[in-house]
Amino acid sequence: MNEKKLQFETISVRGASGGDSVTGAISYPIYQSTTFKHPELNKSTGYDYSRTNNPTREEVERTICLLEEGKEALAFSTGVAAITACFHLFKPGDHIIVSEDLYGGTFRLFNDIYSVFGIKSTFVDTTSLDGIKEDITNETKAIFIETPSNPLMRVSDISDISYLCKKNKLTLIVDNTFLTPYFQKPLLLGADIVIHSGTKFLGGHNDVLSGFLIANDKDIISKLRVVQNSTGATLSAFDSWLLLRGLKTLSIRLDKSQENAILIANYLKRNENIEKVYYVGLEDHEGYDVNIIQSTGYGSMISFKVKKVSLVAKLLKKLEVISFAESLGGVETLITYPYTQTHVDMPNDLKQRLGVDERLLRLSVGIENINDLLDDLKSVLGE
């Protein structure tokens, strides 16, 4: 059977191989081995040492690759490990344009780590093509975007930015963590590299750390493979198996959590205690029109701003069904306070300018019963 003819949901359930071809195991085996026997001198089974290649990791890489419709995928121990590997493609003096509204850990990498090695970065509102053009220099080598962004859900036009990148011979890198390949496929829109924190929606159960890079260009893939093997932050066999298990329910989880998110976003929008709601699925959201063109869904991430700072502590203490915790993308609904959690390393002046202030909260909506989630919010915010 030609795997490429299968639909997304079927691929995510079956995996790239459809099970183990040797034993017939439906659940792909965990090859918990660091090393592999060679038949004889100068001959290999294709597996030598697990840092270089492991059958279970290879299976999850091939599966993610099919779902993103790329040529190859590489699995890493965390999302930031994947980003770090990606930026080994650049050298001192290179300049990268980055979405100004993005995950605080990514900001920290650019601002505190890459800068030490001479890689320069400029944080730009990538929803504005003119704004991007103004910051392109002779040293610019890449544009890195999150869309929707974290935490303000800004939507950047992948196709337009891709056209700009090709015109200027730049690499376009897209973090697709929030929407996953189920809702958005940046490679088909012109991106060169797609990044995922697989810890989030791909794993889906808050029990595994992982990261992925997916690309189409053979030269980029070859370089990334060398980086992956040389730096060693590869995904373990057991964690690869957890990802394969999580992927089986990806479409079902995302459909349900999005259904919940739409209802919660509309509740928050009506609530007198809420000043503003940031959700891509609301028609008055600034990026709504772009998002419906380049994706097939809105996802389940919501940020909202309360009118009174005092409500923040009250919400985080009194919510019972919704958990106050970092991270996102799991089956459980989580609420996060970006100002002191995910975006704590951003300078206060930048946070204030972006609107990541003391009144902003972020929800990762899970798959619980919607009435329980709404009742939980209403117990603090009222009707």
* Selected catalytic residue, list 200, 256, 305, 351: 200
Contact 363, 304 (CB under 8 A): yes
- Classified as helix, coil or strand, 377 is helix
- Angle formed by the axes of helices 370-381 and 310-318, nearest 10°: 140
Contact 302, 278 (CB under 8 A): yes
* Selected catalytic residue, list 94, 101, 175, 239: 175
Q: What's the rounded Cα separation, in Å, for the pair 283 and 93?
A: 42
**Closest among 220, 236, 271, 184 to 76, alpha carbons compared:** 236
Active site residue 51: yes
DSSP assigned state of 35 = B
Which whole-number Å values give the CA distances from 84 to 111, 139, 248, in the listed order?
13, 20, 28
Q: What's the rounded Cα separation, in Å, for the pair 217 and 77?
A: 23
Active site residue 270: no
Q: What angle do CA 27, 244, 219 make, to 5 degrees?
A: 125
Fill in the amino acid letter for 28.
Answer: Y
The residues facing 360 across adjacent strands are 305
* Selected catalytic residue, list 28, 31, 103, 279: 103
Count, residues in the chain: 383
Active site residue 103: yes
The residues facing 120 across adjacent strands are 95
Cβ contacts of 80 within 8 Å, gap of 6 or more = 105, 106, 109, 197, 211
Q: What's the rounded Cα separation, in Å, for the pair 215 and 238?
A: 24
Catalytically active residues are: 51, 103, 175, 200
